[in-house]
Amino acid sequence: MSAFYVMIITSLFIAVAFLSAFIWSVRKGHYDDDYTPSIRILLDEPVSEKSTRKDK
């Protein structure tokens, strides 16, 4: 039974460590997207319905 307590405490410690590492990386800007803004001009815009109704 004591092995379960050790496993639970260890898993909680690991979970808190991963959560703190994730929060740290988000605050430091590691998930900022630097690539997409540079290629956004190359992407096609979706056709809106307003532009197709003018032809009628």
pLDDT on residue 11 = 98
Residue range(s) defining the domain that contains residue 20: 1-28
pLDDT on residue 27 = 94
Sequence-ordered list of residues with C-beta below 8 angstroms from that of 25, at least 6 positions apart, any chain: 31
The answer to whether the CB of 46 falls within 8 A of the CB of 52 is no
Residue 53, in any domain of the structure = no
Residue 7, in any domain of the structure = yes
pLDDT on residue 56 = 52
Sequence-ordered list of residues with C-beta below 8 angstroms from that of 22, at least 6 positions apart, any chain: none
pLDDT on residue 52 = 57
Cα–Cα distance measured from residue 8 to residue 6, given in angstroms and rounded to the nearest whole number: 6
Q: How many domains does the chain have?
A: 1
Residue 35, in any domain of the structure = no
Residue 16, in any domain of the structure = yes
Residue 14, in any domain of the structure = yes
pLDDT beneath 50, residues of the chain: none
The answer to whether the CB of 41 falls within 8 A of the CB of 47 is no
